[in-house]
Amino acid sequence: MATEITNATTLSKPNSAVTRPLKPLTRAYVTFLAGDGDYVKGVVGLMKGLRKVRSKYPLVVAVLPDVPKEHSKILADQGCIVREIEAVSLPEKYQNQFARAYYAINYSKIRIWGFVEYSKMIYLDGDVQVYDNIDDLFDLPDGHFYAVMDCLCYAYNQRCPDALQWPEAELGPPPAIYFNAGMFVLEPSLSTYRDLIRTLEITPPTPFAEQDFLNIYFRDTYHPIPPIYNLVIAMLWRHPEFVELERVKVVHYCYAGSKPWRYTGKEENMDRDDIKMLVKKWWNIYNDESLDYKNYVCSTGGGSYRACEPANLLTSPIRGWRPSLRNGPIGHLDPF
């Protein structure tokens, strides 16, 4: 039996004992972290990348309960606002319906629509890095869902007999314009949050999970933004004619072997000069101690990242509905 969605106060009001931002915030970046693996390195790199490009807005990290407290402290010490959420749990029997079984946990991204103390947020996966300021995206007109178009031959190549096929019988034709869900601009809303959960309960499973689900849900309000805001790294060899590497603001290291903190260069397509350059660029930011929160605050007098204190930033969990699904998709971290 699924529990009831709790009231708006429970969804958005943090524990009163928690250190809060020093001034009201209406905009923020947000990412998602699950488990005790090494993805925490990606989130640290992302925080330092936002700091390097002098973003005006903080980074909220939505963490599941299985994230070790040590990892949460690492993130808080880097100036992140760490927010615990509950997982969106799906039955195990659906896990063989998806391109990767581990995609399941990423449906928990839906919880960020409950962060209603923010009027607008930019979601970034933990394997994303920001190389130029993208604060301008917060000024896009309200009422739309913004993301970068994805390559359908990457996910659902209809010309390849071995490729995954869109479940047209269950869901109708695929969206005319399909986006990558590793980066998007959203407006938190309790009504949208509740409707996402209700819709998820009746949505058949699809191979690319929460990315497919969000494409279906926002198909009527989606507006594409230029690909410089989310370079899916496989575009370098699949569609080089569309890549302007010198103009790219955001790189999404979402292909097998491309995670900088795991990079060996041995996997397919990973021994390319452009890949090596982008991996080195990520490490330059990650290893730059001047971008650590404590050093940045000391050298700048606080700057835009004085908005939150690094100690005790863990908020209470969002208490939401754990859907008991007869049919439902499973989420993912990277669409490879």
Q: Which of 260, 175, 263, 289 is nearest to 224 (CA)?
A: 175
How far is 181 from 123, CA to CA, in rounded Å? Answer: 9
Burial bucket for residue 194 (CB in 10 Å: 0-12, 13-18, 19+): middle
Q: For the CA atoms of 158, 161, 164, 167, what is the dihedral angle to 10 degrees? A: 60
> How much is the pLDDT for 296?
82
User: What confidence tens digit (pLDDT) does each residue in 267-281 have?
Assistant: 999 999 999 999 999
Whether 66 and 86 have beta carbons less than 8 Å apart is answered as no
- To the nearest whole percent, how much of the chain has pLDDT over 70? 72
Q: What CATH class has 8-232+290-318?
A: alpha beta
| pLDDT value at residue 135 | 98
Quote the tokens at residue 325.
């699904």
Write down the mean pLDDT value for the chain.
80
User: What was the pLDDT predicted at 321?
Assistant: 30
pLDDT confidence band for 11 (50 / 70 / 90): very low
Mean pLDDT highest for which of 18-32, 121-135, 284-298, 314-328? 121-135
The encoded tokens of residue 284 equal 């330059």
Q: What is the pLDDT of residue 318?
A: 32
Q: Does 206 have pLDDT greater than 70?
A: yes
Of 1-5, 81-85, 123-127, 301-305, the poorest mean pLDDT is in 1-5
138-155 pLDDT, tens digit each: 999 999 999 999 876 655
The position carrying tokens 């007098």 is 301
Given this model, what pLDDT does residue 153 score?
63
Q: Which region among 88-102, 117-131, 263-277 has the lowest average model confidence (pLDDT)?
A: 88-102
Residue 200 pLDDT grade (very low, low, confident, very high; cuts 50, 70, 90): confident
Cα(196)–Cα(320) distance, integer angstroms:
12
Distance of CA 99 to the CA centre of its chain: 18
At 298 the pLDDT is 66
pLDDT at residue number 202:
83
Kindly state the average pLDDT of the residues 47-59.
98
- Give pLDDT, residue 96: 61
**pLDDT at position 80 over 90:** yes
Instruction: Return the pLDDT at 151.
Output: 76
Statement: residue 311 has pLDDT above 80: no
Catalytic-labelled residue, pool 41, 48, 52, 109: 109
* Domain ranges (residues) in the chain: 8-232+290-318
Q: What is the mean pLDDT of residues 76-88?
A: 96
Query: Which is more confident, 255 or 96?
Result: 255
Measured CA to CA, the distance from residue 100 to residue 209 in angstroms comes to 9
Tens digit of each residue's pLDDT (9 = 90 or more) over 216-237? 999 999 999 999 999 999 999 9
pLDDT at 312 over 90: no
**52 flagged as catalytic:** no
Q: How many CA atoms lie within 13 A of 267 on its CB side?
A: 14
| Three-state helix/strand/coil letters over 239-285 | CHHHCCHHHCCEEECCCCCCCHHHCCCCCCCCCCHHHHHHHHHHHHH
